[in-house]
A and B are shown apart, each in its own frame.
Chain A
């Protein structure tokens, strides 16, 4: 059974005011993610990637279609789903280990078990030295690692990531990408990764879905047959270049279209996200 199944998903932001039109953000999204896979969704800005992220994660409701986690219908945030957000989300008032323990604490897990699990996760993401530091004292990349550890420690069946490295510089992105692969392989996680970076998606994933601009649908699915384990040196291989070209061809058209979308529509959707 697939871990995540999305069937004919649609999302319309209905307008209640006369002179503002309804916006169809997502249309007929179909997606299957099996255990242990690393799937990416790529698309231009404003095409609805983050909307999709919010809907699958259960933070927003879809207006049509359904989402199934291991056969169960999803209605609201599901315990089997972990979410890593685009913005910096490590709580500045807690130390790193307190941040990582947060979800467990809210669920009522006792102190000893929390500490053990979070220690393990912090080590996995490479932040053992900074356990007792506050996020404010760390770099952006480290803060995102805290957010990732906080999600991983909940042991979710599938992890959704919405451009987690978006706010970081190029080099840090590549390094954290490598780290993510390492972690993914270690714990055999299942990851649904949203990004706008072609090289990132090709380096990390088994399969890439290219999204069209509003209304967002899956335009094309591309299998990445580059063998694993991959690393930053994969970027310079020929196959990498070929797949990148393929994606860029699809994406270029959509990005150009996205640039012509009227601002009022984007703002409208942003308010509702």
Chain B
């Protein structure tokens, strides 16, 4: 086996070892600080299992959170791509609106959450809107950047080969911006996810964030940690998925 191949395998093992390491540290922590504050992994997983198999609280909360996430993210994607596209193509609009977009990015958006509650009420709609509000920024910013940076010569080639506008978009613009687009979509998902959970934690009637806060109030730490585990798994899994898709689409191209 070549050294390189061996190195690759070791790295893959390392990646898989990290969660195991975390669980071990977790166990250590629960010994140090007591089960009351930090329940052991075993206890947590048994509660988690119960949530899945027996009482099913996990699924009903998960369902609500996922619905909010799905809609919030979908709207963010559709609008984000559209706005990013327009701003990318139109220099004037971009120079006017870009500062707004970049500045809102830096605001602790959670403090604006009451406005969402006023407009949408305490139900799922406010979380959808909040998730949308979080996710749209990276998508817009990255799409805008990608379109702005398309190499002019590619478009010229398209024109010299007499492509109609639809073909130019489909065959030249789209493949050109794909890498940045994928990154934007991934970051958009991450932020939408956070937005939805934060919204649930702040004010909600259902969902994982809400149950998290409720369990904390009742000092039911096993449940708290189960939810954290679920959230972490979802986040990591989706990011992995994105990287895999991105790899397939983009890997061969760039130098």
Q: Do chains A and B touch in the complex (CB under 8 A)?
A: yes
CA distance A136 to B255 in the complex (A): 4
Whether B253 lies near A77 (C-beta < 8 A) is no
A13 within 8 A of B: no
In this complex, the interface size class of chain B, counting residues with CB under 8 Å from chain A, is 20 to 34
Main secondary structure of the interface of B (DSSP, over half): helix
Within 8 A of A (CB), among B151-188: 151, 153-154, 156-157, 159-163, 167, 171-172, 175-176, 178
In the assembled complex, the CB of B159 is this many whole angstroms from the nearest CB of chain A, namely 6
Known: A88-B153, A89-B154, A93-B176. Is A136-B162 also a contact (CB below 8 A)?
no
Instruction: Point out the residues of chain A lying under 8 angstroms from B156, CB to CB.
Output: 59, 83, 85, 89
In the assembled complex, the CB of B137 is this many whole angstroms from the nearest CB of chain A, namely 27
Which partner residue on chain A sits nearest B170 by CB separation? A106
Whether A91 lies near B154 (C-beta < 8 A) is yes
Whether B157 lies near A106 (C-beta < 8 A) is no
Whether B162 lies near A77 (C-beta < 8 A) is yes
Known: A91-B172, A91-B175. Is A136-B253 also a contact (CB below 8 A)?
yes
- Over the window 89-108 of chain A, the binary record of Cβ atoms lying under 8 Å from chain B Cβ atoms (1 yes, 0 no) is 10111100000001100100
Which partner residue on chain B sits nearest A104 by CB separation? B161
CA distance A85 to B156 in the complex (A): 9
Whether A93 lies near B153 (C-beta < 8 A) is no
Which partner residue on chain B sits nearest A54 by CB separation? B156
Whether B153 lies near A77 (C-beta < 8 A) is no
Which partner residue on chain A sits nearest B153 by CB separation? A87
In the assembled complex, the CB of A173 is this many whole angstroms from the nearest CB of chain B, namely 19
Other-chain residue from A77, A91, A93 in contact with B160 (beta carbon distance below 8 A): A77
Whether A93 lies near B175 (C-beta < 8 A) is yes
**Chain A residues with a Cβ closer than 8 Å to the other chain, count:** 26
Other-chain residue from B157, B159, B163, B254 in contact with A92 (beta carbon distance below 8 A): B254
Whether A57 lies near B160 (C-beta < 8 A) is yes
In the assembled complex, the CB of A271 is this many whole angstroms from the nearest CB of chain B, namely 11
B252 within 8 A of A: yes
Whether A102 lies near B161 (C-beta < 8 A) is yes
Whether A89 lies near B153 (C-beta < 8 A) is yes
Instruction: Point out the residues of chain B lying under 8 angstroms from A86, CB to CB.
Output: 153
CA distance A12 to B172 in the complex (A): 30
In the assembled complex, the CB of B80 is this many whole angstroms from the nearest CB of chain A, namely 22
Other-chain residue from B159, B167, B254, B255 in contact with A59 (beta carbon distance below 8 A): B159
Whether A77 lies near B159 (C-beta < 8 A) is yes
Known: A89-B154, A93-B176, A102-B171. Is A136-B160 also a contact (CB below 8 A)?
no
In the assembled complex, the CB of A238 is this many whole angstroms from the nearest CB of chain B, namely 40
CA distance A106 to B167 in the complex (A): 8
CA distance A219 to B172 in the complex (A): 39
Instruction: Point out the residues of chain A lying under 8 angstroms from B255, CB to CB.
Output: 92, 136-137
Interface residues of B (CB under 8 A from A): 151, 153-154, 156-157, 159-163, 167, 171-172, 175-176, 178, 252-255
Q: List 20 A-B contacts (CB under 8 A).
A: A57-B160, A77-B159, A77-B160, A77-B161, A79-B162, A81-B160, A83-B157, A85-B157, A88-B153, A89-B156, A89-B157, A91-B154, A92-B253, A92-B255, A102-B161, A106-B161, A106-B162, A106-B167, A136-B254, A150-B157
Known A89-B154, A89-B157, A154-B161; 16 more pairs at CB < 8 Å: A59-B160, A77-B159, A77-B160, A81-B160, A83-B156, A86-B153, A87-B151, A91-B157, A91-B175, A93-B175, A94-B175, A102-B161, A134-B253, A136-B254, A137-B255, A150-B157
